Amino acid sequence: MIDEVQSARALDRFARNAVELRRRAGLSQLDTGMRAGLHRTEVSMLERRLRMPRLDTVLRIAGGVEAEPWEVLEGLAWDLDRGRLWEARPEPGRYEVAVAGQRVTWEAGAWKRVGG
């Protein structure tokens, strides 16, 4: 899954959690911002998914609505891209690259074009 999709999904879940916790506490965005040491517009931007929060902002929001940090982060996840792992390297002796728009492989000591 591409990183942008995962970021959007995480931001959406954070915003839903923040709104739910703020409403549970019976607070406005202004009250939440004042209690958390944030401007009301910052709270609004976070809830409308216009800004990705930093760690200290997550902690401030949680404190402002009298919730635990894990409650603000509940349901957030990131899927591991196994293609980025060291263990996912190609097998020794076989490599595939693109050269001048053509895919070639290195196999058995020689380069071979892929697909023809």
Q: Do 94 and 48 share a structural domain?
A: no
Q: Do 57 and 7 share a structural domain?
A: yes
Which pLDDT value is given to residue 77? 82
Which pLDDT value is given to residue 62? 97
pLDDT by 10s per residue, the chain, length 116: 468 888 899 999 999 999 999 999 999 999 999 999 999 999 999 999 999 999 999 999 999 999 999 999 999 888 766 666 555 555 566 666 665 667 767 666 666 777 65
Give the number of domains in the chain: 2
Q: Do 8 and 65 share a structural domain?
A: yes
Domain that holds residue 91: 87-113
61 three-class SS = helix
The answer as to whether 27 is a domain residue is: yes
Which pLDDT value is given to residue 48? 97
Using the CB atoms, write b or e for 44-54: b if 16+ within 10 Å. bbbbeeeeebe
Sort 33 into a burial class: Cβ within 10 Å, 0-12 / 13-18 / 19+.
Answer: buried
Q: Do 17 and 51 share a structural domain?
A: yes
The answer as to whether 78 is a domain residue is: no
Which pLDDT value is given to residue 90? 53
Which pLDDT value is given to residue 91? 58
Q: Are 32 and 75 in contact (CB under 8 A)?
A: no
Q: Do 97 and 57 share a structural domain?
A: no
Which pLDDT value is given to residue 106? 66
Q: Do 11 and 58 share a structural domain?
A: yes
The answer as to whether 79 is a domain residue is: no
The answer as to whether 16 is a domain residue is: yes
The answer as to whether 30 is a domain residue is: yes
Q: Do 52 and 105 share a structural domain?
A: no
pTM comes to: 0.69
Instruction: Look at the block and give the residue holding tokens 């693109």.
Output: 98
Q: Do 62 and 26 share a structural domain?
A: yes
